Amino acid sequence: MTNGLLQGRFGFIFGVAHKSSLASAIARSLDQAGMRIALAYQSDRQLRNVEQLVGTLSQDDVPLVQCDVSDDAQIEKAFAVVGEAFGGRLDALVHSIAFANREDLSGGFWETSRQGYLLSQDISAYSLTALTREALPLFDESGGGSVMTLTYLGGERVIRNYNLMGVSKAALEMSVRYLAADLGSRNVRVNAISAGPVKTLSARGVAGFTGILDTMREQAPLRRNIEPSEVGSTAVFLASDLSSGITGEVIHVDAGYHILGN
């Protein structure tokens, strides 16, 4: 049971685009563990989904902040708003953001356009660094903090039709390590959760996704697909003192699939 584990702590979550998203699962788990959370959304189109998530949480005073992570001014403003709401403190930052043009997730990787490559790297990888930088003064007020991001096995191995997103996830995972090395002296831990495939809105953009789910269920050591709540529970662990000695890691929550040679 995690009830009360994060009582008195504050978290800021980026990437709640839909009720089925992993960011939503993380938000529910952190809320159940007692953490006060703020949610960032990209555009008015996503606001309704974020509001629906808030309706399922135990807290009714959740700050909702619009933020396009490709705009440094919006990032700065978002953390100013959350800092004011949370008394200048922050204990956890959740980065669950990734994007690539649909045409860059099919065909050959060699066909990736320069514009598409730069866009995906900016949104999917660099944004972690940009958000962490703005979070640092708030972490300092809390005496440290936990940064976590979401990645996938396609950042380590070639996954059919993952293409550019796999390259962006590889950059994201290396960013985790460099940030962890830089920020450890400030008691800021930086880790990634490598989640197995889950039926989310973004996953539908990967051709043959149903086949990926079937393969994992048949071959993973646990012989099943994961549940979003398992990713949420891992986020609670990373946000808590239970993981105080862990930083720079990619923690696989994929029913063990990553250990296989196939």
Q: Please identify every residue annotated as catalytic.
A: 152, 162
Which DSSP state fits 123?
Answer: I
List the structure tokens of 258.
């990553």
8 A C-beta contact, residue 26 and residue 96: yes
Beta-carbon count within 10 A of 105 CB: 20
Q: Which residue has the tokens 């662990």?
A: 237
Beta-carbon count within 10 A of 2 CB: 18
List the structure tokens of 220.
């993973």
8 A C-beta contact, residue 103 and residue 149: no
The C-alpha atoms of residue 243 and residue 32 are separated, in whole angstroms, by 18
8 A C-beta contact, residue 12 and residue 40: yes
Q: Which three-class secondary structure state does DSSP give residue 52?
A: helix
Amino acid making up residue 144: G
